[in-house]
Structure 1
């Protein structure tokens, strides 16, 4: 480490460690909230901290697996054809190479949706070709950008059913489809497939409304496949959209999420890992913890209002650095901890050595109030 960098670090530390600025050393985090770690020039520094946002963040994922293992997650690549946008292609290639280079190798890869940007055959095939670099088993869930040009036809040809389940070393993994149940507004409006895709790709969803949903058929399927599962054993559910009401105006939610929680309520160790939001999130409702993941394409800003109290924001990104605030994740699941072991490592590209304090955005003494929304009853799906 250079003398100049060391000098800058000392100055930053001196500034942030003034009384009343740095969290008190006595503050301890619980096992069920963020544990932050930083990786600086290959040397890991681990400590118990609160509201500090280093290069790599880690959080509890699953509980008491039979044996330790690691899997990888890549999501929201939003690929255009190479002739239109090579930046997103380059980032996807980088993520694939880094996952393949993991040593020891990950047990499997989860792709979290939005492989394509406009749902074109060329975009989906390009993504499939890039991800072939990764030789470990792969499991895919779709995003809305993959689906609404041809209603999932090409996705199904390449990756099979959007819902699936498997058991691995004492953990039941489940992939749910949260994107294909959008209410059919396009037929009455006589939209072309391209027009439909354009509206579904809009962040605000002004035409589609609350399109994200699980549906009664998947709820019944979820209940069935968990029927023989010990309620004290870990369950990890992968979705594209968050299974809670993060920010409905941007369709950062699932309209029947309460029904999903009702099915999962008897199970005490449930983790939902989701994409779609392009940002680091962590939230807890009941026995379910929800973890938002990075995108390789671009980072979304945080919603201006309406964020649940137990949501942790990440530091803002550098708009001049196209690799800042994006990346992929490595998820470790380890046995032997009575509450929970395992972590998510956010492999965040472009992140400089940052020492910054982020004030908590919630008050733990005030419980999150679950209230009915008009939008919940708009569509009987």
Structure 2
């Protein structure tokens, strides 16, 4: 896959590279100059420089709060409330907030109403994309009533922003099994896809909409796509992908400045395929371990989370577009020493024998035989 996608010239626009200033700055912070390879600077850096719009502005990302009713659990409420208060305290304020899905845990209207009430405190513009936990109790009826359509686009200061729905197009497995809405939601709320299968996808209709949405956009101008699931194949058994990610990348092939910002994985991640860069975001609820197989070996991992500290390993993101047409993604973690330097202190140790395997989409792709 790397040989096919990383052809000469098939690389994000060179104005998007890590600058020498940022490299030296982060090397000093990390205490060593780690190698930068196509397989991943993730998650060595907690800041990423990309070239974007001409005017300076900020936006923020909050997601994966997994709220229960207050009568059951207030820990998750406390953490997203803290994040929202920090967003509100930004000076100058961010231009907008993107909520990246999984506001609720079981799609309960009480959970969604609670989340909407917490988010009301944010006075800047807010945009929303759903997560599977928000959707599958009533198939998105309550979500869209509160937050509007699940797919959308707008232009802001030289950047085209797109909200993509990666959760609502799961294959209908529930009707034949005569599941109740609560049973369906219960299966969708589990991490593995043993019952729900490969539910994460963009779908033919949305692929056509994405193509139309980008048809009048200059090929070298910046595009930011927000999605709940990553738009590449990270780990299908946990639906850390979209099953039609190859088709998504085909639509994006003509464009040189494309960034996908996604939730769902609850961890620090960075991925680069062809001309598309992807940044995985933190949750405010809890952090997930890294997947055991199917991904490039991680170069730097987060410190193992302290189970006695509910605020450890979680947070939100602040993205700043500078006057020099750069954007920095800062993971706002409430624990400062986030990089594991020793195996016994690092989440990487859990996957010391990480298995690398051909991606499912490559095995299924019509041209896989030409480059496997």
TM-score normalised according to structure 2 size: 0.82
Matched positions, count = 334
Is 1:156 matched with 2:144? yes
Gaps of 5+ in 2: 1-16, 36-40, 350-356, 367-372
In 1, Cα distance between equivalents of 2:82 and 2:318: 14
Counterpart of 1:271?
259
Which of these residues, 34, 50, 71, is aligned with residue 34 of structure 2? 50
TM-score normalised according to structure 1 size: 0.80
Q: Per the alignment, in what secondary structure is the counterpart of residue 220 of structure 2?
A: coil
Which of these residues, 307, 310, 316, is aligned with residue 322 of structure 1? 310
1:351 Cα deviation from its structure 2 partner: 3.7
In 2, Cα distance between equivalents of 1:128 and 1:289: 30
1:305 Cα deviation from its structure 2 partner: 1.4
Q: Residues 29-79 of structure 1: CA distance to partner in whole angstroms, max 9, x if unpaired?
A: x618995968xxxxx96998437999982112x423111110010000000
Counterpart of 1:343?
328
Counterpart of 1:169?
157
Is 1:111 matched with 2:96? no
Is 1:59 matched with 2:58? no
Q: Quick check: which one's helix share is greater?
A: 2
In 2, Cα distance between equivalents of 1:269 and 1:175: 16
> Which entry has the higher C-alpha Rg, 1 or 2?
1
1:320 Cα deviation from its structure 2 partner: 2.2
In 2, Cα distance between equivalents of 1:47 and 1:233: 35
Q: Per the alignment, in what secondary structure is the counterpart of residue 346 of structure 1?
A: strand
Query: Is the contact made by 2:64 and 2:285 (CA closer than 8 Å) also made in structure 1?
Result: yes
1:3-42 maps to which residues of 2 (within 5 A)?
Answer: 31=18
In 1, Cα distance between equivalents of 2:24 and 2:235: 25
Query: Is the contact made by 1:55 and 1:353 (CA closer than 8 Å) also made in structure 2?
Result: no
1:224-373 maps to which residues of 2 (within 5 A)?
Answer: 224-308=212-296, 313-336=301-324, 341-352=326-337, 356=341, 372=361
Gaps of 5+ in 1: 1-29, 39-43, 362-367
Q: Per the alignment, in what secondary structure is the counterpart of residue 128 of structure 1?
A: helix
1:314 Cα deviation from its structure 2 partner: 3.0
Query: Is the contact made by 1:141 and 1:162 (CA closer than 8 Å) also made in structure 2?
Result: yes
Q: Residues 208-261 of structure 1: CA distance to partner in whole angstroms, max 9, x if unpaired?
A: 110000001111111101111000000000000000000111110100000000
Query: Is the contact made by 2:48 and 2:328 (CA closer than 8 Å) also made in structure 1?
Result: yes
Q: 1:248 to 1:150 in 2, by over 3 A?
A: same
Counterpart of 2:167?
179
Mean Cα deviation higher: 323-332 or 348-357: 348-357
1:353 Cα deviation from its structure 2 partner: 7.8
In 1, Cα distance between equivalents of 2:56 and 2:197: 42
Q: 1:211 to 1:55 in 2, by over 3 A?
A: closer
1:307 Cα deviation from its structure 2 partner: 1.6
In 2, Cα distance between equivalents of 1:222 and 1:176: 8
In 2, Cα distance between equivalents of 1:245 and 1:70: 29
1:166 Cα deviation from its structure 2 partner: 0.5
Mean Cα deviation higher: 280-289 or 298-307: 298-307
Q: 1:241 to 1:53 in 2, by over 3 A?
A: closer
